[in-house]
Amino acid sequence: MLFEILMRSCIHHAWQSQTLALPNPSVACMVLSGNNEVLALQAHAKAHTPHAEVLALRQAFNALSPTPYPARLDPLDKEANYNFLAKNHAGLFKDCTLLVTLEPCNHFGKTPPCASLLEQVRPKKVIIGALEPSLKAKGGCDRLKKAGIEVLSGVLEKACKDLLIPFTCLESKGVFNLFKIATRLDGSYQGAISGQESQIFTHNQRTVAKNLIISGQSVRLDRPTLNTRFATPPYEGLCNVVILTRSTHSFDRTIPLFNAKGREVRICHQVEQLPLDQGFNVIEGGWVLLESLQEQIDMLLIHRNSSFGGSEALSLGPRPALNRRFMPLHTQRLGQDILAWFA
Amino acid sequence: MLFEILMRSCIHHAWQSQTLALPNPSVACMVLSGNNEVLALQAHAKAHTPHAEVLALRQAFNALSPTPYPARLDPLDKEANYNFLAKNHAGLFKDCTLLVTLEPCNHFGKTPPCASLLEQVRPKKVIIGALEPSLKAKGGCDRLKKAGIEVLSGVLEKACKDLLIPFTCLESKGVFNLFKIATRLDGSYQGAISGQESQIFTHNQRTVAKNLIISGQSVRLDRPTLNTRFATPPYEGLCNVVILTRSTHSFDRTIPLFNAKGREVRICHQVEQLPLDQGFNVIEGGWVLLESLQEQIDMLLIHRNSSFGGSEALSLGPRPALNRRFMPLHTQRLGQDILAWFA
């Protein structure tokens, strides 16, 4: 039961940066001492930064080693951290148990695989949630077993697999389309809604997305900027914006989104013209837009703010006629908002 | 960090039966072995049944003792389980750590207090979330310390206190008014909505409530039964129903709620007539009812089903004009629904 509770905590931690590591999966790793004290909990929260296993071993090194982890090693540097741990572990982790939501990778890229690092640092036990679905990265589990490390896999496997949906979607189909909506408690969704923590999350997500797709109605009513000003760390780039509108009236070009440098803004008049066949796309809109795109949507993310719409008239328009059903995967508090993910 | 993660797990477990133990607080308790293995996790889920500490020690006894816990002892019998553990612990728990979301009670009622049981079974350590707010039950923490047991209190104190809101409300003001609403993803809330697990929860809640308050409009449109047919274990009693209606038209008496035996149905034409000053009342309704009652509402519970309203016209009526703001306390998946609690 202890390992299930701790794996649940890893899963929860990984969801906090769900989609932000794309095209990589969201993965979390925990390191336990021989007495099952939690020494580290880390997630892989951005591509081109160290995997969760490396970050967690780094944190655990500091808890176990009489000499501190060298401060000069940037925590975001994949190679430097990997190599330091491989050379300097000095048997520190021999009584440790690692929990990982995903089988450690076995794929040689810019750095050698995590499975090879674990082979070298030799923890006592590795507990795995889901097996690696990617052909090129699988085999980590077998590698650890051959090295004589005790391996237990399939702990909360279903929940760990759910965590991988954006990654497996993008990997297997070449596209992952996320529909995102922000609502208030009463279901209203016009105007600015989300709390600060939610905005930071959304802006971080935009730094990873290929296209941001939005309805012409939202552009006209909300006059959005659609940039990444709240991203952490600060981010200069902008994702491309695609506006879906049936109207042939031109847009007021003083709406801020049109005036950001280095961004492409496309206007589409038909669903078929939308770039929904490639990459990670975030579609922000209301239920009517979801209805139009329902066949192409892979996941749904609702940010629900704890406010009400005030005394303005409430008009949600026609209800969506949806042929498909979304199932809740995960829910989390984020400041004054509640985020809920559905697939 | 281990104890915080495990306390978080206790808190989550206790929320699953939030309000169901009223007039007692929702409390969860975990027992860890000397090696921090989780031996037990239990919640106090109903008044007049054993406290979480007794249930958890019972479960841990079975994991530690060479002789099994006697099957003849009904797990719902407060006295029998308390007395068995006090007499037969045989030092089994001497290396154990207990985590409890609330300070163990120090109040002599039908059974002696939990603090006295812990004094006798002598775990190595007791980790406490929130201190007991009730004057008559406090002092458990001091009692344990005097007995030489290591005590750590204040672990995730804020979250553990949030868990106590229904209890402290009822205890300090003599009344706890919970506003409950079931909605779909698109914000619509007419008709039958909740999934089976949600219905079971709602029916269990009705077995504890003093009054169920509902708007005349809901009675006319939904023609509800408002009984406890899904309660677990099966429950014969019915809570009283109070209908708030501005209309002076009489109700169709074939609506099922009017035909349950042993129930009182009152009709009120003004908010001031509602019995909102005593006991645990559940108010089920839409946002307009919440607006009328906002000053009297202590907590808000939203059951959100993962469905949409279909293609019928969506009319949510006027938005509520709320002067107060609800903050999210907890969110949990329950079958196909997501429950969110606000205060």
Which ranges in chain B are annotated with CATH 3.40.140.10? 1-170
What's the pLDDT band for B324 if we cut at 50, 70, 90? confident
Do B210 and B274 contact (CB within 8 A), yes or no? no
3-state SS, residue A127:
strand
Interface of B with A in 157-176 (CB under 8 A): none
Best residue of A308, A312, A334 to probe chain B, by most B CBs closer than 10 Å: A308
Q: Does residue A119 sit at the B interface (CB-CB below 8 Å)? A: no
Q: What Å distances lie between residue A153 and A145, A157, A170, CA to CA?
A: 11, 8, 24
Q: Is the pLDDT of residue B333 over 50?
A: yes
Best residue of A319, A325, A338 to probe chain B, by most B CBs closer than 10 Å: A319
Instruction: Say which residue, B121 or A193, is predicted with more confidence.
Output: B121
> What integer pLDDT is reported at residue A112 of this predicted model?
86
Q: How many CA atoms lie within 13 Å of A128's alpha carbon, on the beta-carbon side? A: 23
Burial pattern A286-309, b for ≥16 Cβ within 10 A else e, equals bbbbbbbbbeebbbbbbbbbbbbb
Residue B283 CB-density burial (10 A; 0-12 exposed, 13-18 middle, 19+ buried) = buried
User: For residue A39, which residues of chain B lie inside 8 Å, CB to CB?
Assistant: 1
Q: How far is A24 from A210, CA to CA, in rounded Å?
A: 14
Q: Is the pLDDT of residue B112 over 60?
A: yes
Cα-Cα-Cα-Cα torsion A39, A44, A49, A51, nearest 10 degrees, comes to 70
Q: Which neighbouring-strand residues pair with A333?
A: A338
Peptide bond preceding A23 in cis form (omega within 30 of 0): yes
> What integer pLDDT is reported at residue B202 of this predicted model?
96
Domain B175-342 has CATH 3.20.20.140: no
Q: How far is A187 from B300, CA to CA, in rounded Å?
A: 15
Query: How many other CB atoms are there within 10 angstroms of residue B33's CB atom?
Result: 18
Do B55 and B82 contact (CB within 8 A), yes or no? no
| B328-334 β-sheet, strand order | B265-268, B240-244, B211-215, B279-284, B175-183, B299-305, B337-342, B328-334
DSSP-derived secondary structure for B169-221: HHHHHSEEEEEEEEE-TTS---S----HHHHHHHHHHHHH-SEEEEEHHHHHH
Q: Does residue A62 sit at the B interface (CB-CB below 8 Å)? A: no
Q: Is the pLDDT of residue B313 over 50?
A: no
Q: Which two tokens mark A189?
A: 């969704």
Q: How far is B53 from B121, CA to CA, in rounded Å?
A: 11
> What integer pLDDT is reported at residue A313 of this predicted model?
44
Look at domain B1-170 and name its CATH class.
alpha beta
Mean pLDDT of B140-150: 96
Q: Does residue B249 sit at the A interface (CB-CB below 8 Å)? A: no
Q: How many CA atoms lie within 13 Å of B61's alpha carbon, on the beta-carbon side? A: 22
CA distance A337 to chain B (A): 7
Q: Which residue of B has its CA nearest to A323?
A: B310
pLDDT tens per residue across all 343 residues of chain A: 999 999 999 999 999 999 999 999 999 999 999 999 999 999 999 999 999 999 999 999 999 999 999 999 999 999 999 999 999 999 999 999 999 999 999 988 777 899 999 999 999 999 999 999 888 888 999 999 999 999 999 999 999 999 999 999 999 999 999 999 999 998 888 778 899 999 999 999 999 999 999 999 889 988 999 999 999 988 888 889 999 998 989 999 999 999 988 889 999 999 999 999 999 999 998 888 898 899 999 999 999 999 887 545 455 555 667 777 899 999 999 998 999 999 9
* This prediction's pTM: 0.94
Query: How many other CB atoms are there within 10 angstroms of residue B332's CB atom?
Result: 14
Closest-CA residue to A124 (of A93, A145, A100, A79): A93
- Of A192-206, B89-103, B310-324, the one with minimum mean pLDDT is B310-324
Which ranges in chain B are annotated with CATH 3.40.430.10? 175-342
Do B285 and B179 contact (CB within 8 A), yes or no? yes
